[in-house]
């Protein structure tokens, strides 16, 4: 396990996690000819997704629901919390999330991110993750769904020639 967590923005075709790729395909199908899909509820994948509401034009974000697979991997259900609370308690992690959410909110474009969890996040129950961060709304982005695949800490890591095992 690395000392510090790290991550990178990647192109869609570099994602290995089928569940994340499937989330993007559902987003595209719902979007149709529009710039972004209107309703996040039609794309929300119950187990491995987080539904986030944009508050006050992006001044904060509200976690409306966190899928059960992600609750277990984070060791808590942070549904109902705000991103500002996470920034206050875990600044580096929270600020990183804010940057990703802001990029998706302002561009209206999906973003794909993967990374490795280091010893700086000792409570994390996973060591590797891939995510699709997907925008929704009418005129502007008012919700974001993050569809994630996580490699639990107790699985073989680093992945060899096989893609990471997903939750």
For residue 91, how many other CB atoms are within 10 A of its CB? 10
Q: How confident is the model at residue 43 (pLDDT cuts 50, 70, 90)?
A: low
**Of residues 89 and 121, which shows the higher confidence score?**
89
The pLDDT score that the predictor gives to residue 165 is 47
Question: In the CATH hierarchy, which fold is given to the domain comprising 6-152?
Answer: Beta-Lactamase (3.30.450)
The answer to whether the Cα torsion of 158, 10, 133, 55 is positive or negative is: positive
Nearest of 93, 37, 17 to residue 101 by alpha carbon: 93
CA angle centred on 116, ends 167 and 18, rounded to 5°: 35
Q: How confident is the model at residue 116 (pLDDT cuts 50, 70, 90)?
A: confident
Judged against a pLDDT cut of 80, whether residue 31 lies above it is answered with: yes
Q: How confident is the model at residue 69 (pLDDT cuts 50, 70, 90)?
A: low
Judged against a pLDDT cut of 70, whether residue 48 lies above it is answered with: yes
Judged against a pLDDT cut of 70, whether residue 79 lies above it is answered with: yes
Judged against a pLDDT cut of 60, whether residue 162 lies above it is answered with: no
* Pairing verdict, β 49-55 and 143-152: antiparallel
Q: How confident is the model at residue 1 (pLDDT cuts 50, 70, 90)?
A: low
pTM for the whole thing? Answer: 0.83
């Amino acid at each position: 396990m690395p000392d510090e967590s790290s991550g990178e923005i990647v192109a869609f075709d570099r994602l290995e996690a089928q569940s994340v790729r499937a989330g993007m395909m559902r987003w595209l199908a719902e979007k149709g000819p529009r710039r972004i899909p209107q309703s996040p509820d039609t794309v929300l994948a119950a187990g491995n997704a987080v539904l986030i509401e944009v508050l006050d034009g992006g001044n904060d974000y509200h976690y409306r629901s966190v899928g059960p697979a992600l609750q277990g991997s984070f060791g808590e259900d942070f549904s109902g919390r705000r991103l500002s609370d996470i920034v206050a308690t875990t600044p580096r992690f929270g600020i990183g999330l804010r940057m990703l959410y802001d990029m998706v909110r302002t561009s209206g474009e999906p973003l794909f991110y993967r990374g490795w969890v280091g010893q700086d996040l000792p409570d994390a129950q996973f060591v590797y993750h891939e995510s699709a961060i997907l925008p929704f709304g009418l005129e502007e982005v008012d919700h974001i769904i993050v569809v994630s695949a996580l490699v639990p800490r107790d699985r073989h890591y680093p992945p060899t020639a096989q893609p990471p095992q997903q939750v």
